[in-house]
Structure 1
Amino acid sequence: MPVRLTVLVPGGSGQLGRDFAALASDSVDVIAPGSAELDVTATGQVLAAVGALADRARETGSAPVVVNAAAYTAVDAAETDEDRAFAVNADGPRVLAAACASRRVPLIHVSTDYVFAGDASTPYEPLDELGPRTAYGRTKAAGEDAVLGSGASSWVVRAGWLYGHTGSNFVKTMTALESSRPELSVVDDQIGGPTWTADLAAGLLELASRVAAGDGPERRILHCANTGSVSWCGFAKAIFSRLGADPSRVHPCTTEEFPRPAPRPAYSVLSPASWQEAWLTPLRPWEEALDAYFKARSVPA
């Protein structure tokens, strides 16, 4: 019989948190506070939230799990605001993991492809050497270390190029630009793997169910992403196509032609092998996920 879950999702107002909250059901109780309700850098708030989670799970006969979706994700802003990024991305997970350890609550922590240098030519595996080149990447790597070294029953799940129906993301930006510009240039020398947050949320819920049942994967770092890879330019063309627009309106350019405060990885594809080897359901190809995103987007709320 499936285990009933009570899941606390810090970062619940973000695109991933909202998609996870949408998975709530009779057997899955989701508590998804935004940062205004639960500041992961505030020790007292974190201790109270994890304690309340444990108590609620005990009262309802369910298994408690924390899925940490809280993060400072403003990659460029982090270059001049690294202290704040570190507080949210490293100190916050450290406090959360300590609280989980004290109440014996499992923790699943969401991380990023930015912990890698981005100079590979084949998809990154979980144990590949880290080499973050941005403040954001450094703070997320520190958060991984804090979680895995905390003594909590914990797993780190890396994902990248996330997009959802809420918040700011590349798909929403390209959708807006399609209606406001006749043509645009998008970098074609950065390769990654787009992942729909709804698919990632479903994967995280499956992992949480396994963890709650005492069948958590032996590997403590996993990669979860829609399969396949594409450049930002190719991704933009695919978005235009699904909008019914002419993809030839999107023109390739180089990273040098579009400089940003934080350097972007040239290659940040995450291998799905660890997810599949843990007997977790593989995520579908990114093209199919993008189709599903736009189909869901067209359905009235």
Structure 2
Amino acid sequence: MFDLGALQAAVAAEGRVARVVIAAHDGSSPREVGAAMLVWRGGQSGTIGGGALEWEAVQRARAALDGQDRLDKVPLGPALGQCCGGAVLLLTEVWDSARLAGVTGDAVVRPMPGTAGEMPLKVANRLRRARNGEAPLVTEQVQGWMIEPLARPGREVWIWGAGHVGRALVAVLAPLPGLRLTWVDIAPERFPDTVPEGVTVLPAPAPESLVVYAPQGAEHLIVTFSHALDLELCHRLLGHGFARAGVIGSATKWARFRSRLAGLGHSAAQIARIDCPIGDTGLGKHPQAIAIGVAVAMIRAGQRKETWGTGRGNDRDAAG
């Protein structure tokens, strides 16, 4: 999908940015159709994969910053000596603020370099079916036109706590596609000086008071410095509603929480919706290990509607 927010941020910082996207491929490819990267004179973000494929694409993209959009069909084996065996069609477009102003609606639909004439009927039918709710748009190249739906973060993730584990979670989860992160703690100084792009930071002396502002379909990771705050957040989230929730903890901590939450009026079935521990505790208690386990579990949860935990404790005293 077309990540308009990332492109807008890059253009605001760099002025002119080349966007390289895999428009199509024959045979195997390092990445899927729609995989994209942004390239500017002094840097890049994102990846189309492939090592040599990406290196050459970056060089062409930087050259295009002084010229025009381009379309390149790259046979991976003969041209680059890669073992994939397929051929990749790369679309490189130069974006600036004026071009961005023309992006409207829910998709970016345009002719690729070398294509002239009016929009093909096949493309118009794709758009009509999407407007009528008959079929969603997908990223594809159709008769020389490129169709890319705008990326919409599908999952709201709230991370409660900016200590060691909270920081590791944000660092690991922020680059993943389809997530919008909201990060909460008690004061601005609890957060690092540099926060990943797109993460919303919410300092609040009473973090539990922010629960009412979370979407009811959000997912929550509770990793604060305080067991009392963890419990209060669990209590309020159970009354507010959520898609998934997990709290860092040991078996002993969670047994106490279950008892106290029951005393606050929550049923066993409601309490069981909160996952404790989070991630894969077989990886250990190091903050990054916890974050990696959580990220894997979250990806699987999104794909298969699984829970986040493994059934063993991962509590860290004052881990945050």
Q: Is the pair's TM-score, using the shorter chain for normalization, greater than 0.5?
A: no
Compare CA radii of gyration and give the structure with the larger one.
Answer: 2
* Larger proportion of strand: 2
Q: TM-score, normalised by structure 2?
A: 0.30
Q: TM-score, normalised by structure 1?
A: 0.31
